[in-house]
């Protein structure tokens, strides 16, 4: 089973009490916001709860981020960046399989994520759903995150020698997004292993040329 790279977490705000050693007020606000947004949603999290957890004043929040929306954007950017760093490191760590490259390691990494007590789904995805088209900034962050994920998956497909990497990446993202949601609803990390079997079947079909454009 693939393990995440040392010292990396799939979230910028792991399941722990606030770190009293955080000296930067902006970092404290971002960490507190992510911790609360993951558990309660963005709209359900008021400024008072954020500053209380961060241990800073309301004026500090406004000085650093101007508005709650500014903090939301910073928190989503930071969480997306943290998750990708962890995910890419986890998938890149093992030696590639001769048949599948690193593609199946995707689901080993997801299994590790789903097993964590602080697994609350993908914050960026949930924010995009929560706000739909009401926030152009959240939509931009979501699209940027998805594009970086697509670029990485395309690279993995090409590295493994599969043809039509863009088409294969589209199928992979459908599986990945689906199991992220299913694991959240079911609280069952084995969803990742089911998804791994589905992916393996698709890759075997690709090898045999059974899938057509």
pTM (two decimals): 0.90
Question: In angstroms, rounded to a whole number, what is the distance separating the alpha carbons of residues 30 and 78?
Answer: 8
Residue 207: its pLDDT value, please?
85
In a domain, 86, yes or no: yes
In a domain, 21, yes or no: no
In a domain, 18, yes or no: no
In a domain, 67, yes or no: no
In a domain, 28, yes or no: no
**Nearest residue to 91 (alpha-carbon basis) of 35, 50, 152, 182:** 152
Residue 7: its pLDDT value, please?
63
Residue 210: its pLDDT value, please?
45
Residue 8: its pLDDT value, please?
83
Sign of the C-alpha dihedral, residues 149, 117, 55, 51? positive
Domain tally, the chain: 1
The angle at the Cα of 74, spanning 52 to 16, to the nearest 5 degrees, equals: 45
In a domain, 44, yes or no: no
In a domain, 85, yes or no: yes
In a domain, 1, yes or no: no
Residue 17: its pLDDT value, please?
54
**Nearest residue to 64 (alpha-carbon basis) of 86, 32, 92, 90:** 32
Residue 15: its pLDDT value, please?
77
Sign of the C-alpha dihedral, residues 94, 126, 59, 64? positive
Evaluate whether 46 touches 131 at the Cβ level (below 8 Å). no
Question: Which residues of the chain have a pLDDT value below 50?
Answer: 2, 4-6, 19, 210-213
* Structure tokens given for 184: 């959240």
Q: Residue 195 belongs to what domain range?
A: 76-208
Task: Give the CATH number for residue 144.
Answer: 1.10.357.10
Residue 45: its pLDDT value, please?
97
């Amino acid at each position: 089973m693939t393990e995440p790279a040392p010292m990396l977490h799939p979230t910028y705000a792991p399941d722990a009490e606030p770190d009293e050693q955080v000296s930067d007020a902006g970092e404290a606000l971002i960490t507190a916001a992510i911790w609360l947004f993951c558990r309660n949603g963005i709209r359900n999290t008021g400024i008072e709860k954020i500053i209380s957890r961060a241990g800073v004043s309301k004026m500090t929040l406004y000085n650093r981020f101007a508005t709650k929306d500014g903090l939301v954007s910073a928190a989503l950017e930071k969480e997306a960046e943290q998750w990708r760093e962890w995910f890419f490191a986890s998938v890149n760590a093992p030696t590639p399989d001769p048949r599948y490259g690193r593609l199946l390691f995707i689901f080993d990494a997801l299994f590790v994520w789903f097993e964590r007590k602080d697994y609350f789904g993908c914050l960026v995805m949930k924010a995009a759903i929560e706000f739909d088209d009401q926030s152009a900034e959240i939509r931009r962050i979501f699209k940027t995150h998805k594009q970086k994920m697509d670029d990485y998956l395309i690279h993995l497909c090409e590295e493994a020698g599969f043809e039509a990497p863009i088409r294969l990446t589209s199928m992979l993202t459908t599986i990945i997004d689906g199991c992220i949601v299913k694991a959240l609803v079911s609280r069952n990390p084995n969803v990742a292993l089911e998804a791994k079997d589905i992916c393996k079947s698709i890759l075997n079909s690709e090898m045999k040329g059974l899938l057509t454009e």
